[in-house]
Amino acid sequence: MYRFSRSLYRELSPYISHEPVCLTGEDNHERVLRACEAAVHRLATDRHYFAHPARTLFRDIRVFFPIVEQRRVRRVVDLYMRYAEQYLDALPPAAYDALGNRLGCRATTRKGTPCQRMPLPHNGYCPSHQHLADGEDVSLAA
């Protein structure tokens, strides 16, 4: 998944402002790279709870670019995050995510521990907790 974040960074790096934004002494390029990697990593591991990845990433990095480049940055971020989502959608449903972590049901048991059963690929819930996904579909449609 790093190929998406690194490609995104390479596309944006010529437009990053040279004036320091952070008072801690961190370089603007380093902060943008880390934000891109974090967004793509979260998209790969936590897709169900990451509603607007492109918008979130743009909000995180827009302070590092001059005002005249904001529109270009937004378009590039939208494009690369869409590519990453398409790549993740094309992966075959399996027991592991794109980073090799074992998938688990999104629900919790009555004791408060995460459900250990294998989730269904279309919604992230196991067959026992399928009723929880039905409520999400109704709330998303509203």
pLDDT per position as a tens digit, 68-87 = 999 999 999 999 999 999 98
In this structure, are 110 and 85 located in the same domain? Answer: no
Q: How many domains is the chain built from? A: 2
- State the sign of the Cα–Cα–Cα–Cα dihedral 18, 20, 25, 29: negative
Domain for residue 96, yes or no? Answer: no
Domain for residue 99, yes or no? Answer: no
Domain for residue 98, yes or no? Answer: no
What's the pLDDT score for residue 7? 94
For the entire predicted model, the pTM comes to: 0.68
Query: What tokens does 3 get?
Result: 């190929």
Domain for residue 109, yes or no? Answer: yes
Domain for residue 95, yes or no? Answer: no
In this structure, are 112 and 56 located in the same domain? Answer: no
Per-residue confidence band for 124, with pLDDT thresholds at 50, 70 and 90: confident
Asked if 53 and 41 count as a contact pair (C-beta separation under 8 A), the reply is no
Domain that holds residue 115: 104-142
Average pLDDT value for the chain: 83
What's the pLDDT score for residue 115? 85
Cα dihedral: 28, 31, 32, 35 (round 10):
-170
Whether the pLDDT of residue 138 is over 60: the answer is no
Asked if 64 and 16 count as a contact pair (C-beta separation under 8 A), the reply is yes
In this structure, are 8 and 67 located in the same domain? Answer: yes
